[in-house]
A and B are shown apart, each in its own frame.
Chain A
Amino acid sequence: GQQLNQSPQSMFILEGEDVSMNCTSSSIFNTWLWYKQDPGEGPVLLIALYKAGELTSNGRLTAQFGITRKDSFLNISASIPSDVGIYFCAGQLNSGNEKLTFGTGTRLTIIP
């Protein structure tokens, strides 16, 4: 099935550094979601974006819905050890077509 392109595929950063990752699609989505997944667990919802151009924050996380509706980015400021995990973007087409199309994931490793 279709998967959105996420970059980078993996990141190794020092604790305290900021992180930036993005997600691109060849098709338009009307809602973008960002999830974090720990090993052996299900994805946990971090941020939801509903409108093109929207910038939304949740604590140290900031995400933006691209103007073209074909991309989104997620920033994490002042990283801490518990930020380690795999981050997935997901796009939803519209109400009435509820399924999510997920990205390929960005694996974040933090060096203490």
Chain B
Amino acid sequence: DTGVSQNPRHKITKRGQNVTFRCDPISEHNRLYWYRQTLGQGPEFLTYFQNEAQLEKSRLLSDRFSAERPKGSFSTLEIQRTEQGDSAMYLCASSLSVEAFFGQGTRLTVV
């Protein structure tokens, strides 16, 4: 399967713990995006990389959130000191141009 891969698919964590998610994009795609989706809503943009450069960050991405794409391939999204409001589906997408292809997402539940 050469689609966008996200790990883990599900994560349950206690409030205050740190979590890290991984995204492996489609191999030839130089653009990588992170989105967050809460129940009943459409995905909301968090951040965007072109190769290893992080070009845009949403105001939704608080100081507790950090994303990296060190070699321009896979990316990680870390949330420090998780809060219950962080519970959501975290989606990764990649593209060569306009058409973005999404992974299956990581569902985070903070208890």
A interface residue numbers (CB < 8 A to B): 1, 3-4, 31, 33, 35, 40-45, 48, 50, 88, 90, 92, 95, 97-105
Contact = CB atoms under 8 A, between A and B. Distances in A.
19 contacts: A1-B58, A1-B59, A4-B42, A40-B104, A42-B6, A43-B91, A45-B99, A45-B101, A48-B98, A50-B98, A92-B98, A95-B98, A98-B55, A98-B98, A99-B45, A99-B48, A100-B33, A103-B42, A104-B41
Given A41-B105, A42-B93, A98-B98, 4 more contacts: A98-B100, A99-B45, A99-B48, A100-B33
B17 to A, nearest CB: 23
Specify the main secondary structure of chain A where it touches its partner: strand
Interface of B: 4, 6, 31, 33, 35, 40-45, 48, 50, 55-56, 58-60, 91, 93, 95, 97-105, 107
B31 A1 contact: no
A98 B31 contact: yes
A42 B23 CA distance: 13
Contacts of B55: 98
Contact of A100 (B4, B6, B100, B104): B100
B101 A100 contact: no
A106 B52 CA distance: 35
B101 to A, nearest CB: 6
A99 B91 contact: no
B105 A48 contact: no
Nearest to A101: B45
Nearest to A44: B102
A1 B59 CA distance: 9
B99 A43 contact: no
